[in-house]
């Protein structure tokens, strides 16, 4: 090897810092971290940025321009933690950012010998961090809480909205225009009643001549069936059939997405789709969507059973953004919900 080139490589290795981010556990929270990931990449433009996420989110950040490597790793069991520690130790990272408040995760970074460890000083873990940032003394939106960590480490500016880069996939076989219903949630009180989704669907089909696409996990199949049986026109049921790349494309091309307080709702907003976010017992002030004027939040603290389909329909019908999308995605008579097959995608 040319010694001049060897010196240059060594110099570049010193410039290129290896940074690992130990991210959060849930889809929406990981999306809230996107502004931080982008800010890190902008602040350290030569860095190699890796991000640890739970295994079910392996595909989520794989095509985002600010992340060089996604490590989809579990840390639930002792064996999982041991495997993760071995990986952390082997990689020789220069910096580790803890977006999670876990003491165990801070301990793993320290045991792995990562020289700079940055996180909030929660749960008595100050001694495990080289840079323990004072936690906010007021309740903040989850995105603002993450931003607080980096800003107090000296990294700024940081944007206050998420954006998700959609890797193009062919969804031309989906009949257009369509609107997406995402009825599922990990907590029953956050779910809008399926009968309300059906009534809204019938109103939308009549007013907008729109197709209805239902998305969700395979466990949401029963919700999709309950909605479907009361719709005048058969919907396209994609529950349990979409990867994150495909789901982001479906959201991106939708005239509107209607969903509760759930991770895929945040993904839809981050993809730039017009989104109606239905909130009941949880507060949008703490975990509401953070897009660029492409969403509406309807909050019914007394419970989602009190939020009528007519009210949601009115919000959609009067929304100019949805009207523009409808005009751009005129109904194609050659494509229908009834003839659509999953293999068409």
Taking the domains of the chain in order of start, what are their residue ranges? 14-151, 178-344
Indicate if 178-344 has the same CATH topology as 14-151.
yes
Q: Is residue 279 within 8 Å of 260, Cβ to Cβ?
A: yes
**Would you say residue 333 has pLDDT above 50?**
no
Q: 322 or 338: which carries more pLDDT confidence?
A: 322
Could you tell me which CATH number the domain at 14-151 has? Answer: 3.40.50.2000
3-state secondary structure of 202: helix
Say how far apart CA 298 and CA 313 lie, in whole Å: 11
If one counts every other C-beta atom within 10 angstroms of the C-beta of residue 44, the result is 18
Say how far apart CA 205 and CA 232 lie, in whole Å: 8
Band the pLDDT of 341: cuts 50, 70, 90.
Answer: low
Q: What b-and-e string marks burial along 165-180, b requiring 16 or more CB atoms within 10 Å of the CB?
A: ebeebebeebbbbbbb
What pLDDT does residue 126 have?
95
Q: pLDDT digit string (tens) for 193-248?
A: 999 999 999 999 999 999 999 999 999 999 999 999 999 999 999 999 999 999 99
With a pLDDT cut of 70, the percent of the chain lying above it is 90
Sign for the pseudo-dihedral over CA of 267, 272, 273, 275: positive
CB under 8 A, 24+ apart: contacts of 40-43: 40/66, 40/97, 40/150, 40/155, 41/65, 41/66, 43/155
pTM above 0.75, yes or no: yes
Give the single-character DSSP code of 138: S
Q: Between β-strands 69-72 and 48-53, what pairing exists: parallel, antiparallel or unpaired?
A: parallel
In degrees rounded to 5, what are phi and psi of residue 183? Answer: -85, -15
What pLDDT does residue 293 have?
84
Structure tokens at 39: 């800010």
What pLDDT does residue 260 have?
98
Mean per-residue pLDDT, 57-68: 94
Q: pLDDT digit string (tens) for 133-170?
A: 999 989 999 999 999 999 999 999 999 999 999 999 98
What pLDDT does residue 325 have?
79
Q: Is residue 297 within 8 Å of 289, Cβ to Cβ?
A: yes
Mean per-residue pLDDT, 172-187: 94
Q: Is residue 47 within 8 Å of 18, Cβ to Cβ?
A: yes
Mean per-residue pLDDT, 62-75: 95
**Which CATH superfamily groups domain 178-344?**
Glycogen Phosphorylase B; (3.40.50.2000)
What pLDDT does residue 328 have?
73
Q: 322 or 52: which carries more pLDDT confidence?
A: 52
Q: Is residue 149 within 8 Å of 136, Cβ to Cβ?
A: no
- Cis bond before residue 334 (omega within 30° of 0): no
Q: Is residue 216 within 8 Å of 223, Cβ to Cβ?
A: yes
Mean pLDDT, all residues of the chain: 91
């Amino acid at each position: 090897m040319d010694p001049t080139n060897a010196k240059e490589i060594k110099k570049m290795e010193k410039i290129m810092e290896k940074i690992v981010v130990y991210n959060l556990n849930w889809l929406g929270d990981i999306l809230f971290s996107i502004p931080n990931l982008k800010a890190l990449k902008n602040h350290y433009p030569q860095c190699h940025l890796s991000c640890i996420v739970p295994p079910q989110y392996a595909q989520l950040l794989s095509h985002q321009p600010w992340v060089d490597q996604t490590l989809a790793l579990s840390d639930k069991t002792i064996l999982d933690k041991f495997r993760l520690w071995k990986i952390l130790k082997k990689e020789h990272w220069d910096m580790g950012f803890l977006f999670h408040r876990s003491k165990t995760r801070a301990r793993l970074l320290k045991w792995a010998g990562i020289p700079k460890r940055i996180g909030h000083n929660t749960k008595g873990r100050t001694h495990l961090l080289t840079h323990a940032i004072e936690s906010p003394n007021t309740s903040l939106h989850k995105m603002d809480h993450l931003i607080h960590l980096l800003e107090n480490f000296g990294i700024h500016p940081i944007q206050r909205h998420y954006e998700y880069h959609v890797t193009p996939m062919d969804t031309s076989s989906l009949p257009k225009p369509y609107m997406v219903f995402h009825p599922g949630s990990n907590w029953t009180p956050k779910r809008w009643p399926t009968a309300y989704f059906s009534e809204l669907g019938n109103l939308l089909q009549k007013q907008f001549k729109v197709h209805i696409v239902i998305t969700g996990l395979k466990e949401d199949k029963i919700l999709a069936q309950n909605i479907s049986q009361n719709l005048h026109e058969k919907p396209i049921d994609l529950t349990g059939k979409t990867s994150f790349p495909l789901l982001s494309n479906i959201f991106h091309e939708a005239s509107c997405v209607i969903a509760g307080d759930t991770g895929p709702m945040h993904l839809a907003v981050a993809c730039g789709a017009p989104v109606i976010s239905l909130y009941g017992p949880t507060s949008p002030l703490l975990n509401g969507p953070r897009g660029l004027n492409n969403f509406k939040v309807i909050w019914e603290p007394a419970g989602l059973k009190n939020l009528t389909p007519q009210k949601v329909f009115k919000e959609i019908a009067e929304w100019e953004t949805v009207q523009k999308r409808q005009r751009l995605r005129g109904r194609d008579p050659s494509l229908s919900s009834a003839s659509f097959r999953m293999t068409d995608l």
